[in-house]
């Protein structure tokens, strides 16, 4: 499967501007990739202004993703703010070229940024299959919590969409690599670049890593860009067979 990571400089709370800009980039990728991964809150930036930026499920941004996926014959994923029953969720959405969709609500809300006050947390892990890969999505701060992410022999690709600040860039790079190695899976981590209205700087450093933690694709530091890498299920299966760490893993249950 070919995966393209897009790390944009997100326009603050400018949904039309972000969707137009990203749409033009994705349209150029038609026929060259199977999956496009966008950052956390790709249509607004990491804003806590939930009343203004949120939208109902399956409305504006969902329609944009569905139409783009259909027209370009690829899958698109990323997170944005969804409103349901007077609650707000930082929701990851994955939409395929055939109109199938899956979603995941961010479990670990970034309390230091007030996300836990403005959003409701997700209550369950989500795993779905696309192009023969079992996929587990997470959002930004989730990356710090390995018990939540632990591979129970139920996924092959971990997708992390983020707005991860420059001040903790080493943590981002270290945890992406650690999650790939400990879970014996491919990892696709996409981050934004630029500054937001809170004065936070982002350097991107998006990457696709193999189960050894080695790069399949890397994006440049502090540059709006995209890159494509190919992952093969046969390579993952061969590595897991040769070095079957999963056989010695501890059994556990997670209370949610």
Domains in the chain: boundaries: 2-243
Q: What is the pLDDT of residue 256?
A: 59
pLDDT band at 58 (very low <50, low <70, confident <90, very high): very high
- Copy the structure tokens of residue 72: 């370009």
Please say if 40 is a catalytic residue.
yes
Please say if 177 is a catalytic residue.
no
Of 15, 72, 115, 140, which one is the catalytic site residue?
140
Q: Average of pLDDT values for 103-116?
A: 97
Share of the chain above pLDDT 90, in %: 95
Of 15, 40, 115, 177, which one is the catalytic site residue?
40
Of 15, 66, 106, 177, which one is the catalytic site residue?
106
pLDDT band at 249 (very low <50, low <70, confident <90, very high): confident
- Say if residue 66's pLDDT is above 90: yes
What gap in Å lies between CA 158 and CA 74, rounded to an integer? Answer: 18
Alpha helices by DSSP H, listed for the chain, are: 15-27, 50-53, 60-72, 115-118, 146-149, 169-183, 233-242
Please say if 197 is a catalytic residue.
no
Work out the angle between the directed axes of helices 60-72 and 15-27 (0-180°, nearest 10). 10
What gap in Å lies between CA 234 and CA 232, rounded to an integer? Answer: 5
Nearest C-alpha neighbor of 3 from the set 79, 92, 102, 77: 77
Phi-psi region of 63 (alpha: psi -120 to 50; beta: other; left: phi over 0): alpha
Topology classification of domain 2-243: Nitrilase/N-carbamoyl-D-aminoacid amidohydrolase (3.60.110)
Query: pLDDT tens-digit profile of 171-224?
Result: 999 999 999 999 999 999 999 999 999 899 999 999 999 999 999 999 999 999
Q: Give how far Cα 120 sits from Cα of 84, 107, 109, 123, 124, Å.
A: 10, 9, 8, 9, 13
């Amino acid at each position: 499967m070919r995966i393209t990571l897009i790390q944009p400089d997100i326009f603050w709370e400018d949904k039309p501007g972000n969707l137009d800009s990203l749409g033009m980039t994705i349209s150029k990728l038609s026929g060259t990739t199977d999956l496009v991964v966008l950052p956390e809150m790709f249509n607004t930036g990491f804003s806590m202004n939930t009343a203004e930026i949120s939208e109902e499920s399956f409305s504006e941004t969902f329609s944009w993703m569905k139409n783009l996926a259909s027209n370009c014959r690829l899958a698109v994923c990323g997170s944005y703010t969804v409103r349901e029953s007077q609650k707000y969720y930082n929701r990851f959405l994955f939409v395929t070229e055939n109109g199938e969709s899956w979603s995941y609500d961010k479990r670990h809300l970034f309390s230091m940024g007030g996300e836990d006050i403005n959003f409701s947390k997700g209550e369950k892990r989500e795993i779905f299959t696309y192009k023969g890969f079992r996929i587990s999505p997470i959002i930004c701060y989730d990356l710090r919590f390995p018990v939540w992410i632990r591979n129970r022999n139920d996924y092959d690709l971990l997708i992390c969409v983020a707005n991860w600040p420059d001040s903790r860039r080493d943590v981002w790079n270290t945890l992406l690599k650690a999650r790939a190695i400990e879970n014996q899976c491919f990892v696709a981590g996409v981050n934004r670049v630029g500054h937001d209205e809170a004065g936070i700087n982002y350097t991107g450093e998006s990457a696709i890593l193999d189960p050894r933690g080695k790069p399949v694709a890397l994006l440049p530091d502090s540059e709006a860009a995209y890159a494509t890498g190919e992952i093969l299920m046969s390579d993952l299966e061969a590595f897991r067979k040769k070095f079957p760490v999963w056989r010695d893993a501890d059994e556990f249950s997670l209370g949610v």
